A and B are shown apart, each in its own frame.
Chain A
């Protein structure tokens, strides 16, 4: 029991600051290939980060397709693809919204398949 309480105390001590700063956690978990300077600028201006796991992204044409498809949207400030992480990451402009269904549809129109959507606020 004593050991379990100690473990819980350590877990809370670690998790509470992290929960209070979910964006920081998200950014720490992202590689530099997932956050471009333009995306960082958009985040600094109050934008929100979206991370999408993608199936089938194996080349630069794949990445280009998704990046261009998302950056054509007025809600999106900047986007990029990390082929190593198999993710599309993009930043929504401050106050902009994009439903998960819309994101899946845009991935499909790019020629690929969404395999999970994460938003930093929910991490």
Chain B
């Protein structure tokens, strides 16, 4: 097995499980990779979908199916907290001169978040194993604050900082300040990795 270092997405997806019958499209571009993800929620406790990842730093791509399970959700009048477990399985192969052939690949992840209308905190960890593209683990945490509180349908704005830890990466610790705009079915995040001097973009649309 070729043990190429593969970077992992520092995703902190908002609501990876939607309402029953809901579909969400997500695209993300961070310091290490670009990804697209489309998921459908047949039951309010889990979602299934396609995930594609281009690991730019390691020159390989992944295509697979991802399952996300909402293990628990805690409710309050002014807060919501969630615990998600996810798994993905598919194929990965080298690109742009990477000789790694096509092989089975998959990932396991856990994500937790706590959110009010003013504050946001999340943590996620994910491990990836590819038959030809290597193994890797990473973790990320994010904190955010909304400078103003908006009602449904208005533009919501969040100021956030994400810290990623990827032990095998060239820069093991990454710091990405970002701004999140959120209105109705559209969520957009724009940031800049101050440790890697690279942009961060995430767009989500929920149908």
Query: A residues near B, CB below 8 A?
Result: 33, 55-66, 68-69, 72, 80-84, 86, 108-113, 115
How many angstroms from the CA of A62 to the CA of B184 in the assembled complex? 9
**Contact residue among B19, B77, B184, B185 (Cβ-Cβ distance under 8 Å from A110):** B19
The answer to whether A83 touches B185, judged by C-beta atoms less than 8 angstroms apart, is no
Contacts of A80 in B (CB 8 A): 152
- Contact sample, A vs B, 6 pairs, CB 8 Å cutoff: A55-B75, A55-B77, A60-B184, A109-B44, A110-B19, A111-B15
Q: Which residues of A contact B115 (CB under 8 A)?
A: 58-59
A61 touches B206 (CB 8 A): yes
B21: Cβ under 8 A from any A Cβ: yes
Pair B183/A60 contact, Cβ less than 8 Å: yes
**B156 engages A111 (CB within 8 Å):** no
Known: A58-B79, A58-B117. A65 touches B19 (CB 8 A): yes
B-side interface mostly? loop
Shortest distance from the beta carbon of A97 to any chain B beta carbon, whole Å: 22
Contact B152 A69 (CB under 8 A): no
- Whether B44 and A86, one on each chain, are in contact in the complex, defined by CB atoms closer than 8 angstroms, is no
- Whether A56 and B73, one on each chain, are in contact in the complex, defined by CB atoms closer than 8 angstroms, is yes
A36 to B118, CA, bound (A): 25
A45 to B78, CA, bound (A): 35
Task: Identify whether the interface residues of A are mostly helix, strand, loop, or mixed.
Answer: mixed
B187 within 8 Å of A by Cβ?
A: yes
Point out the residues of chain B lying under 8 angstroms from A115, CB to CB.
Answer: 77
Residues of chain A within 8 A (CB-CB) of B185 are: 60-61, 64
Q: Which of B14, B73, B79 contacts A111 (CB 8 A)?
A: B73
Q: Does B141 contact A (CB under 8 A)?
A: no
A68 touches B19 (CB 8 A): yes
Residues 3-47 of chain B: 1 if any A CB is under 8 Å from the residue's CB, otherwise 0?
A: 000000000001101111110000000000000000000001000
Q: At the interface, yes or no: B76 with Cβ under 8 Å from chain A? A: yes
Q: Once the chains are docked, how many angstroms separate the CA of A59 from the CA of B152?
A: 7
The 4 A-B pairs of least Cβ separation, nearest first, read: A65-B19, A55-B75, A56-B75, A63-B152
User: Complex formed: what's the CA distance from A57 to B70 in Å?
Assistant: 16
Instruction: Report the minimum CB–CB distance from A109 to chain B (whole Å).
Output: 4
